[in-house]
Amino acid sequence: FNKYTSENTTNHKALGKFEIDLPSGIGINISEEFVRNHDTRGVNIGEELAFYKYSLASASIAYKLSDRFKIQADYTNFIVKYEADRNSFMDRADNTLAGYVYYRVMPKTSAFIEYEYVLIDFAESDFDGDEHHIFGGVAWEVTEKTKGTIKGGYGIKNFKDPSLEKFRGYLMEANIDYNITTRHSLKLKATRETNETNMYGTDFFVTTGFSLEYFHRFTGKITARSNIS
């Protein structure tokens, strides 16, 4: 910062990934991500930044049953720990299991059904619980110009503490990349999802939003971006 230098920060991110497609039709994907960052300014109570470290490990295995059908299973382990004691109520570990069934409707377009189970375990807070999500969607990568995923469904969020409010409602996610030409491209992202609490007095919160970005390359060294969200 030019003026408030006491708020200067240094964040870190490390990512490792391994992918392999075997001749038998089995695909394996393993990744590990480590991050040191802070919550967006103004999100938390108080003026000091809320620094945290998290580890995100995931493993996925897919198997092609036939030319049209594919099944996939995912496991994800997410651990987050805040550095200051005042924010320790947000420390938690999430374990997620997900299963997919894909049906290829066209050479590079597949419809799918997804079920996801999330087990949430807070270190200190009483917000332990689980979530159940079921989605239907479409994934495509028709050409190098266009690829994306759209899915929508229903989610249930339960707490072990019966006095806490439960969530029942629709969820959705969309990620679309469209390269109009080598110089023009569009990116659309949309989501509706539940989030764990980050403030005292709240059990959880729900975010709904979208962003649309347009990218234009004037020359090899000059580009422009515009975004609405």
Specify the pLDDT at position 78: 97
pLDDT along the chain (229 residues), means of 10: 87 97 94 94 75 97 94 97 90 97 94 97 92 97 87 96 92 94 92 87 90 92 94
Q: Angle 79-82-86 (CA atoms, 0-180°, nearest 5)?
A: 140
Q: Are 57 and 93 in contact (CB under 8 A)?
A: no
Q: What would the two tokens of residue 171 be?
A: 């969820």
Lookup: tokens for 84:
């200051």
pLDDT of 93: 96
For residues 171 and 208, give the distance between their C-alpha atoms in angstroms, rounded to a whole number: 9
What the block records as the tokens of 107 is 């050479």
Task: Tell me what pLDDT residue 47 has.
Answer: 75
Q: Which of 218, 141, 142, 148 is nearest to 184 (CA)?
A: 218
Is residue 188 within 8 A of residue 215, CB to CB? The reply is no
Q: Which two tokens stand for residue 156?
A: 């249930």
**Which residue has tokens 């299973």?**
73
What does each C-alpha distance from 81 to 74, 86, 191 come to in angstroms?
A: 23, 12, 25
> Is there a contact between 90 and 196 (Cβ–Cβ < 8 Å)?
yes
Q: Is the sign of the CA dihedral 39, 44, 48, 51 positive or negative?
A: negative
Residue type, 98: A
* CA angle (74, 21, 100) in 5-degree steps: 30
pTM (two decimals): 0.85
Supply the pLDDT for residue 77.
98
Contacts of 84 by beta carbon, 8 Å cutoff, 6+ apart? 48, 50, 51
Query: What's the gap between Cα 208 and its chain centre?
Result: 14
